Structure 1
Amino acid sequence: MFHINIIRRNKTALLDILSVDRRRILQKVQEHNLITNREYRNLNGIYKEDEEGHIVELLDKIMGKGDETCQHFLDLLETDDIKGTYPELKSLQLRHTSPAVTAPVQETCDEPYPVNTIPRGICLILNNINFENNELKKRRGSEKDAESLGEVFSWLGLRVLIDISELQKLSLKEWSNGFGDLQKPPPKHGDVFICCILSHGKKEVVFGTDKKTIPIKDVTRTFKSSNNSPLTGKPKIFLIQACQGNDYQRGVVEKDLETDEGSVGSVPEEADVLVAIATVENCASFRNTAKGSWFIQSLCQQLREGCSRGDDIHSILQCVNSDVSQKEGSNLPGLIKQMPEIRYTLRKKLLLSPFNTEA
């Protein structure tokens, strides 16, 4: 991951520099056998609105091939030939000689979690739509949220499974350009676990389709670290679209909005967890019956933009907070708002990049 991280840290600058002549760098990576002829044709033939879009695809392809290929790519950028074409490369810190290590080095907060498996991990979506008790309304528009999550996390290289709960009738499906039958063999955990819960909720709990509640803490603690857990030391992300109370943050709801209400070392057991909830304590969250929820739709958009830039998950969720906080649920500005909340015990950065499965 050493050389991958160098590219990731300099990704924005590389986009600006290499976009000046993207065909030149594409030809050079093919000449040095960093990509196949088929990949060269695909990268050369893709349609993008701007030159940076092509370079994004190239860098993602290089990083997806692993650390050794990234090292060769950095070697290429250090050659006089390439620096002659892109003189601004001289200003970047692309030296990739790793210092000699004579003693164990303590991990730092800048070191990202390793994400090397294929698939990179599992994304489990729990989508509660209909409920036994008529007091809890059907969650219209939740299908749109589930589809958006399936699309973006599949794009990020995770295996996406969904449990669509319809009055205790469980239907486990898998995403492949849409939700279909579960594929074989059974899923493996990989390096990342993401759990998306779409349901009604109230303070600190979410509802099952049987109207029984489960505390959010109990959900996350199910996956806590232990000597036997395959997820120990790995990031576990929980994204929860549910109300945390009945209060509105001032104002009146538009008629096309509904609320999700009703309501060798050792690793600490509660480490490596991030929980992002659609709204703060005691308040409602909002879901457009046609377009999906404010929180999930913003999350998927920010993941696409942020992961392409090389941002970590916490930075992306801060962008989600900012985006959702600016939305208005009323024609009168400021009368009805929503503020998502992030809680985490992550010890490192979690970086997810677009994943290309083409040979």
Structure 2
Amino acid sequence: MAANDILRSNKTSILETLCADYRLILNKADQKKLITRREYTNLKSINKLDEEGHVVELVDKIMNKGEETCLAFLNLLQTDEDIQKTYPELKNILKKEHCLLPYPVQACSVDNTDNQPQRRKEDGQYELNSQPTGLCLIINNVHFRDGGVRHGTDKDAESLAEVFSWLRFRVLMCKDQTKNQMERALVCFASQCNFSQLQEFNVKEWTCSGFTDLQEAPRHGDAFICCVLSHGNKGVVLGIDGQPLPIKQITTTFMATPQSPLTAKPKVFLIQACQGRQIHPGVLLKGLQADDSHSTSIPQEADFLVHSATVEDYYAIRNKTEGSWFIQSVCNQLKVGCLRNEELEVILRRVNNEVAGKEGGAMPSAVKQMPEIRHTLRKGLVLTPNRN
């Protein structure tokens, strides 16, 4: 559905919600340059209208500016932290509309013949020109054979699907996989798998209405994202049968080869799993100050980024209703940083800082968490949202 149509179909609910503080939405629209300074001054100086009248004037003006401005306005409503806190009802109003535009069938960058803008910002960045940008695979282990249930992990999977579809990825999910199933599924995705090979893994695809049955075989684009949500231990994640799969094996499955469709392309792995059985304690700061090539070949291990929820030996915190500290921070920071065209490494460092600042338990510094980034990226990786 086009952004203008989304605004039109939800206009009444959006207007009623934004009336709670019309000055905030007016200022935000001005900051994002969705309206001109003259329009801002005129809207601000209207005295005869009540709160609803001001919001109606603003939204009508946005809708009259065309599809690109409507899309930018919807992205603002869904990604700005101040707006989310001030108008929490917007989340429910727009939840079903997070896929703002339909995505075309996967195509490699050499097939980019539909006049889409080339997204190589400068030398030294990975070229991400395929439509969609690539695949995002989520392995979401919820129900374990020992009776355990990872409450809150579906919230993480949905948040990841929303943000990476917004970032132009085709999002697929394999749910409740044993160790052997994870292993085979990863091998399948590392090659150019066909539709029949994926059936045993019950692969679902993210659409505007949620996860639905896969309709066609996936094809790799210019980048690959793999998110593993499961129990874990030092250096491993667990299948629902309790058997360990080494994280190193997950990444080496995608190492560069002459045949791999992902050779020389960025591959990002987000691991939400405990890495031990210890609670990570904190240290109270007393008296201390806290500071806020031309080669024709590449190494097999090049172009990887692995971001784990925690360093080895420690638990990773997950809320039963809100999802995990780590994944929710990743999704929130991507929404903010990608709109600024920031490199992924910069965004994920901010995730480290945010999660490190969280407190768990009854006493300060009793329960902490420190994510870890390891990468062999050779260039900057900038993911951009769909603004068309």
Q: Give the structure-2-normalised TM-score.
A: 0.63
The one of 330, 333, 337 aligned to 1:299? 330
For 2:164, the equivalent position in structure 1 comes to: 153
What's 2:173 paired with?
162
Q: How far is the alpha carbon of 1:21 from its aligned partner?
A: 2.6
**1:21 partnered with 2:36:** yes
Amino acid corresponding to residue 145 of structure 1 in structure 2 = D
Residue 19 to residue 141, structure 1, CA distance change in 2 (3 Å): closer
Give the direction of change, closer, same or farther, for the CA distance of 1:42–1:231 in structure 2 (3 Å limit): same
Among 135, 139, 144, the alignment partner of 1:126 is: 139
* Pair 1:129–1:18, CA change in 2 (3 A): closer
> In the alignment, which residue of structure 1 is the partner of 2:66?
41
Take 2:64 and 2:306, find their aligned partners in 1: how far apart are those partners?
Answer: 38
Asked if 2 retains the 8 angstrom alpha-carbon contact of 1:310 and 1:351, the reply is: yes
Q: Is the 8 A contact 2:139 2:177 kept in 1?
A: no
CA shift, 1:206, in A, is 0.6
**How many angstroms apart in 2 are the aligned matches of 1:240 and 1:146?**
12
Map Cα deviations across residues 293-331 of structure 1 (whole Å, 9 max, x no partner).
000000000000010111111001001001101111123
**Which of 74, 97, 116 is the aligned partner of 2:129?**
116
Change (3 A) 1:145 1:67: closer
> After TM superposition, which residue ranges in structure 1, 4 or more long, deviate above 2 angstroms?
15-24, 42-50, 166-171
The DSSP-based 3-state class of the residue aligned with 1:129 is: coil
What do the CA deviations read for 1:110-147 (whole angstroms, capped 9, x no partner)? 6110000001000000001111234xx21011000000
Are residues 1:203 and 2:216 paired? no
Write the distance in 2 (CA, Å) between the matches of 1:133 and 1:339: 28
More helix by share: 2
Q: Which residue of 2 aligns with 1:261?
A: none
Contact 2:34 2:69 in 1 (8 A): no
Question: In the aligned structure 2, how far is the partner of 1:23 from the partner of 1:188?
Answer: 47
Q: Please state if 1:314 is matched with 2:329.
A: no
Letter in 1 for 2:160: L
Compute the RMSD of aligned alpha carbons.
3.1
Q: Structure 1 counterpart of 2:273, which letter?
A: A
Q: Give the alignment of 1:210-225 within 5 angstroms.
A: 210-225=241-256
- Aligned pairs for 1:54-203 (under 5 A) are 65-67=116-118, 111-134=124-147, 137-165=148-176, 170-177=201-208, 178-184=210-216, 186-203=217-234
Instruction: Report the AA paired with residue 66 of structure 1.
Output: P
Q: What's the CA shift string for 1:7-26, capped at 9, x where partnerless?
A: xxxxxxxx9796683799xx
Q: Which amino acid aligns with 2:144?
A: F
CA distance in 2 between counterparts of 1:160 and 1:22 reads 39
Mean Cα deviation higher: 225-234 or 39-48: 39-48
**Cα distance in 2 between the residues matched to 1:133 and 1:191:** 39
Q: 1:232 aligns with which of 260, 263, 266?
A: 263
1:355 matched residue in structure 2:
386
The 1:112–1:172 alpha-carbon spacing in structure 2 relative to 1, beyond 3 Å, is: same
Change (3 A) 1:340 1:304: same
State the alpha-carbon separation in 1 of the partners of residues 327 and 366 from structure 2.
22
Gaps of 5+ in 1: 1-14, 25-37, 54-60, 72-107, 252-263
Who is 2:366 aligned against?
A: 335
SS across alignment from 1:320? helix
Q: Check whether the contact 2:177–2:239 (CA below 8 A) recurs between aligned residues.
A: no
CA shift in 2, pair 1:325/1:224, >3 Å: same
Going from structure 1 to structure 2, the CA distance change for 1:22 and 1:304 (only over 3 Å counts) comes to farther
Letter in 1 for 2:166: W
Q: Which amino acid aligns with 2:124?
A: E
1:65-124 deviations in whole A, cap 9, x for unaligned?
4149x99xxxxxxxxxxxxxxxxxxxxxxxxxxxxxxxxxxxx9x611000000100000
Matched-pair contact (CA < 8 Å) for 2:235–2:247: yes
The offset of 1:45, in angstroms, is 4.8
